Amino acid sequence: MSLHRASFALIAALMGAWTLVPAAPATAQEADMAFRFADPDGGEIEAGVWLPDQTPSGAPHPLIVISHGNGGWYRGHYDTAEALAGAGFVVAALTHPGDNWRDDSQSTQLSARPRHVSLLIDHMTQDWSGPVAIDPGRIGAFGFSAGGFTVTAIAGGVSDPLLILRHCEEQPQVFACRLLAQRPLPVPTWRPVGHDPRVKAAVIAAPALGMAFTDESLAAVQIPIQLWQAADDEILPTPFNVEPIRDRLGRPPEYHHVADATHYDFLPPCAPAMREALPVLCASKPGFDRTAFHRQLNQEVVRFFRETL
């Protein structure tokens, strides 16, 4: 899970500060940055898109979709989106309904999230009329924290809520289980299957609740996976979250273990106002350089998707 249950009003006031952190120069355009698309079940979903420079031939580009963690929004991994767009990918990210900085009323309904991502893919491949063509045969996904759970489901992992309940009986002190104690898991409406076969490769960073996926479903996952783990993840600790995915995938992932990193180091470096107001999101361990880490992270994510898509 991504955000502590901090003041959402304060987060709302400061979210824009993330964009004030200087990023590496990008050739990508931010055309049609923010938009909304319809949810067939009702309402609209907020999203944004980053575009590469259009190639002279007008050839279609691969698409990467991004799923944020609890309490986040579509710009939560803007630096990774910029890096991917600068490398020639169309990047689309969404704000998950009911699990964002404005509205956390559905923050424990994790199994609803893969459907949101599939709807985003539908929109980008069927309805979107942007200036760059998308290749529907080359789609990847990136997810962090609760977004990592989301992308694991998109890749083919089948989740069992009873495994989560059992985990919380045994580990009630961990962050995810403390959150579930406040807002119980919606077992009767749980959607175990979220697989979207259009996604051909995935990057999963510090995923939540890896123990929730069944052995059989993970063993059947054969798409390329790049998996990231913070060595000192205080929110989603070892061995309950990353390891059950890493050790049970049918195709071994490209695995990155980041020494001295904590959970929120996967979020972009914070501007001064954000660091002062929300140290829980912005503070790294002494000696850990989040800016340097994100240069490495983004380079590796770009390389992985170039090789697999």
Chain center to CA of 286: 26
* Encoded amino acid at 203, one letter: V
Task: Tell me how far apart the alpha carbons of residues 206 and 178 are, in angstroms, rounded to a whole number.
Answer: 18
Cβ atoms 107, 183 nearer than 8 A: yes
Task: Tell me how far apart the alpha carbons of residues 239 and 219 are, in angstroms, rounded to a whole number.
Answer: 18
Query: So what's the pLDDT on residue 176?
Result: 92
Q: Cis peptide leading into 272, omega within 30 of 0?
A: no
Cβ neighbours for 162, distance < 8 A, ≥ 6 positions apart: 187
Task: Tell me how far apart the alpha carbons of residues 284 and 194 are, in angstroms, rounded to a whole number.
Answer: 33
Cβ atoms 261, 226 nearer than 8 A: no
Domain 8-308 adopts which CATH fold? Rossmann fold (3.40.50)
Bridge partners of 91, per DSSP, are 50, 64
Q: State how far the alpha carbon of 195 is from the alpha carbons of 73, 120, 223, in Å.
A: 22, 14, 12
Query: So what's the pLDDT on residue 12?
Result: 40
Query: So what's the pLDDT on residue 56?
Result: 55
Residue 176's closest CA among 242, 237, 99?
237
Instruction: Provide the whole-model pTM.
Output: 0.91
Residue that the structure tokens 């169309």 belong to: 90
pLDDT tens digits in sequence order for the chain, 309 residues long: 443 444 333 444 344 444 434 333 334 444 458 999 999 999 999 999 999 986 656 789 999 999 999 999 999 999 999 999 999 999 999 999 999 999 999 999 999 999 999 999 999 999 999 999 999 999 999 999 999 999 999 999 999 999 999 999 999 999 999 999 999 999 999 999 999 999 999 999 999 999 999 999 999 999 999 999 999 999 999 999 999 999 999 999 999 999 999 999 999 999 998 888 889 899 999 999 999 999 999 999 999 999 999
Query: So what's the pLDDT on residue 33?
Result: 84
Q: State how far the alpha carbon of 44 is from the alpha carbons of 30, 68, 95, 117, in Å.
A: 21, 17, 10, 13
Task: Tell me how far apart the alpha carbons of residues 282 and 284 are, in angstroms, rounded to a whole number.
Answer: 6
Residue 93: strand, helix, or coil: strand
Task: Tell me how far apart the alpha carbons of residues 35 and 296 are, in angstroms, rounded to a whole number.
Answer: 30
DSSP 263: G
Residue that the structure tokens 């959402």 belong to: 8
Residue 279: strand, helix, or coil: helix
β pairing state of 61-67 and 90-94: parallel
Each domain of the chain, given as residue ranges in start order, spans: 8-308
